[in-house]
Amino acid sequence: MGRPNDASSHAAMSQDPDPHLGSTTHVPADADADDLLESIRHATIEDALERLSANTGGLSSEEATRRQATHGKNLIESGKKRSPVLAFLSNFTHLMAILLWVAGTIAFIAGLPELGVAVWLVNIINGVFSFWQEARASQATEALKKMLPAYTDVIRDGQEQKILAEDLVPGDIMLLAEGDRISADARVIASSDLQVNQSTLNGESNPSRKVADAVLEEGLSPAEIPNLVFAGTSVSEGNGRAVVMRIGMDTEFGKIASLTQNMQEAPSPLQRDLDRLTKQVTVFAMCMGLIFFALSMFVVREPFASSFIFALGMVVAFIPEGLLPTVTLSLAMAVQRMSKRNALVKKLNSVEALGSTSVICTDKTGTLTQNEMTVNHLWTATREYDLTGVGYAPTGSIESQGTTYRAVDDPDLELLLEGGLLCGNARLRAPEDPEHRYEVYGDPTEACLIVSAQKGGIDPAELERRMPRVKELPFESRRKRMTTVHALEDPIDGATRIAFTKGAPNEVVRLADTIRVGGRTVPMTEELRARIMEANDGYAADGLRVLAVAYRPLGAQAAREGVPASLSAYTPDTIERHLTFVGLEVMMDPPRPEVAAAVAECRRAGIRIVMITGDYGLTAASIARRIGIVDGDDLSVISGFELAHMDDTELKRRLAGQVVFARMAPEQKLRVVSALQEMGEVVAVTGDGVNDAPALKKADIGVAMGVAGTDVAKEAADMILTDDNFASIVAAIEEGRAVYSNIRKFLLYILNSNAPEAVPNAVYLLSGGAVPLPLTTMQILTIDLGTDMLPALGLGTEPPEQTVMDQPPRDPNERLLNRRVLVKAFLWYGLMGSAAAMIGYFLVNMLNGWPGVPLAGLADEADPVYIQATTMTLAGIVFAQIGQVMNCRTEKTSVFKVGLFSNRKILVGIAFEVVLIVFLTMFPPLQGVFHTAPLAWQDYAFLCCIPPVVIAIEEARKAWLRHRDAARAKRGGAR
């Protein structure tokens, strides 16, 4: 990323901080913000700086601290948060809760106070639990936000520094570069084609040009004033410097933000799906309740009150009260787990899209490769050189055919190394401890060019002094090259300035009409061009990255060729022409070691990888092969140029096969993403630059690079990789898949207890009361509260099943609650639980005698055998649930393989269930309320058999499923 380097800013930078500054602060803390804006924009640069008590050398740290004490932190205060009391109360005022309040009241009126209390208790516990879950989920997302602090480059104490954006104070000098988010309102004091996207302020998506001159024109809205930049906007092109005038809530953005802060995140498709599901199940439960009520009143002829209570039990049993908060919490937990694996997800919604991602469009440099460049070859028209040494330490030498060369030994080599070094913005810092590595600031591609020059004996500081930079035409992915202009101490052939251009070889060669050969400049011929490209292709085929270096003296000849004299008129169009080609710098950028395994995992998981890179086709294809993205010979490499001339039908045809996109302009990513989406794929795409933003937004999952990415890309993305590593995307996909399957697991678990709760009632009704009600309403409430919640929560935290990446991506249209889940919940697990419960019930009667059944229907509630029998039904269901929670943990894998005791949360849930049951049956005051009685040892013996049997039956089915899959795979393989 370039920084302004015109003469004025260079001169300005060299000034020391004003020693007088800091004693007093002239910035009026309470100055009327609008007056300040007006006076500053009318002022000259010097006046503006003076008014803000600033200078171009930046504030001193002490002064900055002092100003922060006066002005506070540069923060947009978060708007009025929803009061926790209201948030808490909202859990008791939704439709379901109101229903339960009413039901409890009716129970009281009907003279059943314990039942009324129990129903209300269900409601209260549910509400508290939901509130707790929501609070934890929002804590998790808040914590995530803090992991993404915003930084700003400033000049403090006369030096460039990166500080937290919240520490900006009025008077700070901000350095603005392409892709930066601007963090305060500021007056521009240097601009090199600075263009700013102000859409956050005025909705205008075309960038606005910003200049450093005073603006006297009246009647402009703040955003229209060309010498001011505003917080919340971003640099879309060029670079510049600006002095901060307003921060925090005083900024234009602060004013708008205070109006719009309370916007809430839209619910994700999954949350909507669940909301719908909860409503559907509620309606279903109400219908069941009505049917049971009618049957009880008219078939069994129960009185109104007991029929109502009976029906109420059914309704409560069926409604999955805590489902939505449980899902939100497990999404939030997944987001936290992802952050530990270097993927920061900005919205819960994205977790789902990750789970169904079917194509990853990834760039190469830095994501698949290490972005640790080392120049290992140099090429000039007369000689090819090899370089020794790896990394950024300047230790190594330049050799050719056994002879060691210094830059001074060969004028072409010298020009190549000097051009490579001067035409870049990277800096290297030597480690204090020689054991440590050199630190790189800026683009690694540029850093390695400094090292190659040092290996040739060039001293960067000395060279920069001899040829100071006067102008930069920054690197653009679209142009694939950059140029810097330098003043010459000793004019060469009358030229007082020289331009160095470096970039993609074909882009540079095309613009060169002369070439250096053996220290002389000769005309470029087609043959020489072919030789250069042949050398380039040879290196690229080995996966190496090649940059070309050229120069142009800016003297009388250039003036004749139309180069204006003024620096401000130096543009790519005027300068990057009539170049003299010097040579190639060839660098290696090895693949990241963990990427090959991640690629293989994607292949198993049915996820395709499409490489979209700005690099050369042969280099891209070679790396793609090396890490396993493509195999075999049927690979098509599509260049940006080809793509521009390709229609959508052809593009889609090519996308169906193995394809690598090379020499792509960032804008073209959007087209590839759109085509893939039209083909029905769920697309994740990576990006780092300003121009990647549209593709990042369009993709189902936009992935920005946390280290090399610009603020603009990070803002547009859904997920940010803190290590820029491809493998982290795959890890996030795995978590995304796991969370979806976990939600399904606990849905299955919550639903599966419904059948055992309903069946005893059905038996009672269908027998016309001959079989006394085996499970009372109070007991149903116990199951709902005591057994459904905690183990379900444990299921939400199951780690990804090993097989989760062995399956193809989930169809995004597939419903969470499909027929398979319903059948499994009600007709398989549900029936097992019902059988356990009913057998338990009849067992007590078999051992202790059938209770006396009065003709009216209900058994005598005081009959100890009857109470013991219903307690057994309750305990039977709870013990069956212990087996089922284990069964729900895996879909096909044996639960013994993942470890029966490996999920602590589930074990705690089970322990809670068992203790609850024992407590309810043994503790006399509770016995009265919950209609329970102590169980005999024979009863416990029976209960203990239930979980193993339930698990064994399901394990047999899972084994059969695995066997069937294996047989299918074998048949598929044989075919």
d(CA 588, CA 593): 14
Within 8 A by CB and 6+ apart from 553, the residues are 492, 493, 495, 497, 498
Choose one: 185-193, 347-355, 473-481, 591-599; the region binding ligand ATP (CB under 6 A): 473-481
Among 131, 475, 570, 581, binds ligand ATP (CB under 6 A): 475
| Per-residue contact flags (x/-) with ligand ATP for residues 429 to 468, judged by CB under 6 A | --------------x-xx----------------------
> Rule CB under 6 A: is residue 482 a binding residue for ligand ATP?
yes
**Per residue, what are the HEC states of 51-64?**
HCCCCCCCECHHHH
Closer CB to ligand ATP, 2 or 394, in the complex: 2
d(CA 174, CA 152): 7
Smallest distance, ligand ATP to C-beta of residue 284, A: 52
> Rule CB under 6 A: is residue 486 a binding residue for ligand ATP?
no
Q: Distance from first CA to last CA of the chain, Å, rounded?
A: 54
Smallest distance, ligand ATP to C-beta of residue 644, A: 15
Smallest distance, ligand ATP to C-beta of residue 801, A: 33
Q: Which among 240, 226, 253 has a CA at the least distance from the CA of 42? A: 226
Closer CB to ligand ATP, 448 or 773, in the complex: 448
Closer CB to ligand ATP, 40 or 449, in the complex: 449
In DSSP notation, 207-241 reads PEE--SS-----S--GGG-TTEE-TT-EEEEEEEE
Instruction: Judge whether 853 and 772 are in contact, CB under 8 Å.
Output: yes
Note the residue count of the chain.
Answer: 975
Among 469, 480, 552, 745, binds ligand ATP (CB under 6 A): 480
Question: What's the token pair of residue 248?
Answer: 């925090």
Smallest distance, ligand ATP to C-beta of residue 162, A: 20
Distances (CA, A) of 511 to 63, 423, 486, 549: 50, 17, 20, 11
d(CA 886, CA 895): 7
Among 504, 673, 690, 773, binds ligand ATP (CB under 6 A): 504
Q: Which among 15, 39, 63 has a CA at the least distance from the CA of 245? A: 39
In single-letter form, the type of residue at position 229 comes to V
> Rule CB under 6 A: is residue 503 a binding residue for ligand ATP?
yes
- Strands 520-523, 608-612: pairing is unpaired
> Rule CB under 6 A: is residue 370 a binding residue for ligand ATP?
no
Closer CB to ligand ATP, 92 or 726, in the complex: 726
Among 363, 414, 757, 863, binds ligand ATP (CB under 6 A): 363
Smallest distance, ligand ATP to C-beta of residue 418, A: 15
Smallest distance, ligand ATP to C-beta of residue 549, A: 9
Closer CB to ligand ATP, 302 or 443, in the complex: 443
With contacts defined by CB under 6 A, how many residues of the chain interact with ligand ATP? 18
Closer CB to ligand ATP, 137 or 659, in the complex: 659
> Which residue shows structure tokens 């104070």?
169
Choose one: 342-350, 613-621, 713-721, 905-913; the region binding ligand ATP (CB under 6 A): 613-621
Q: Which among 185, 238, 175 has a CA at the least distance from the CA of 210? A: 238
| Per-residue contact flags (x/-) with ligand ATP for residues 319 to 358, judged by CB under 6 A | ----------------------------------------
Smallest distance, ligand ATP to C-beta of residue 688, A: 7
Choose one: 92-100, 165-173, 324-332, 502-510; the region binding ligand ATP (CB under 6 A): 502-510
Closer CB to ligand ATP, 415 or 943, in the complex: 415
d(CA 779, CA 568): 84
Choose one: 65-73, 480-488, 740-748, 760-768; the region binding ligand ATP (CB under 6 A): 480-488
Question: What's the token pair of residue 695?
Answer: 């593709």
> Rule CB under 6 A: is residue 547 a binding residue for ligand ATP?
yes
Question: What's the token pair of residue 591?
Answer: 């693949």
Query: Which residues, numbered 804-863, are part of the site for ligand ATP (CB under 6 A)?
Result: none
Choose one: 309-317, 432-440, 608-616, 622-630; the region binding ligand ATP (CB under 6 A): 608-616
Instruction: Judge whether 837 and 760 are in contact, CB under 8 Å.
Output: yes
Distances (CA, A) of 86 to 120, 771, 870: 19, 47, 40
Mark whether 724 is an active-site residue: no
> Rule CB under 6 A: is residue 223 a binding residue for ligand ATP?
no
> Rule CB under 6 A: is residue 502 a binding residue for ligand ATP?
yes
Closer CB to ligand ATP, 126 or 365, in the complex: 365
Smallest distance, ligand ATP to C-beta of residue 7, A: 22
The residue number whose beta carbon is nearest to ligand ATP equals 614
Distances (CA, A) of 167 to 68, 75, 292: 7, 9, 66
Evaluate the CA torsion angle 690, 692, 695, 699 in order and state its sign. negative
Q: Which among 866, 760, 865, 776 has a CA at the least distance from the CA of 115? A: 776
Closer CB to ligand ATP, 178 or 615, in the complex: 615
> Rule CB under 6 A: is residue 692 a binding residue for ligand ATP?
no
Among 178, 615, 715, 718, binds ligand ATP (CB under 6 A): 615
Smallest distance, ligand ATP to C-beta of residue 450, A: 12
Q: What is the DSSP letter of 783?
A: I
Among 364, 471, 714, 745, binds ligand ATP (CB under 6 A): 364
Q: What is the DSSP letter of 808?
A: P
d(CA 623, CA 539): 12
Catalytic residue among 167, 185, 250, 363: 363
d(CA 589, CA 448): 11
> Rule CB under 6 A: is residue 477 a binding residue for ligand ATP?
yes
Element containing residue 485 per DSSP (H, E): strand 481-492
Choose one: 18-26, 325-333, 361-369, 794-802; the region binding ligand ATP (CB under 6 A): 361-369
Among 71, 241, 471, 481, binds ligand ATP (CB under 6 A): 481
d(CA 754, CA 764): 16
Q: Is 363 left (phi over 0), alpha (psi -120 to 50) or beta?
A: beta
Smallest distance, ligand ATP to C-beta of residue 13, A: 22
Within 8 A by CB and 6+ apart from 808, the residues are 358, 605, 606
> Which residue shows structure tokens 């380097």?
5
Closer CB to ligand ATP, 539 or 879, in the complex: 539
Q: What is the DSSP letter of 265?
A: P
Q: Which among 148, 96, 176, 561 has a CA at the least distance from the CA of 339? A: 148
User: Please, where are the H alpha helices in 467-525?
Assistant: 505-509
Closer CB to ligand ATP, 163 or 729, in the complex: 729
Q: What are phi and psi of 520, to 5 degrees?
A: -115, 155
Smallest distance, ligand ATP to C-beta of residue 473, A: 11
Closer CB to ligand ATP, 579 or 885, in the complex: 579
Binding site for ligand ATP (CB under 6 A): 363-365, 443, 445-446, 475, 477, 480-482, 502-504, 547, 613-615
Catalytic residues: 363
